[in-house]
Amino acid sequence: MCICCVAVPVAAATGLSLDKKHRKNIQRNGWEPKQARPFVVLTVVAILLLNIGSVIIHTRFYQLGL
């Protein structure tokens, strides 16, 4: 796999791991968990941007001079 394709599952695993740690920290401190989950939203945005970049690189590989 190319570096663009490998970055997608890495971003997903990192984002979900950060979300899990954040949720555990909230529960440990006795705070009430919020409905909004910022790490999940940021992870989804990052995955979408990586997928768009991957499509651009894979479809325009020779036009970009790579």
- Spatial neighbors of 18 by CB under 8 A, at least 6 apart, are 39
- Spatial neighbors of 40 by CB under 8 A, at least 6 apart, are 15, 16, 19
- Encode pLDDT of 8-54 as tens digits: 999 999 999 999 998 888 888 877 767 668 899 999 999 999 999 98
Cβ-based burial of 23 (10 A; exposed 0-12, middle 13-18, buried ≥19): middle
- Encode pLDDT of 40-52 as tens digits: 999 999 999 999 9
Better pLDDT: 40 or 64? 40
Tokens of 37: 């989950």
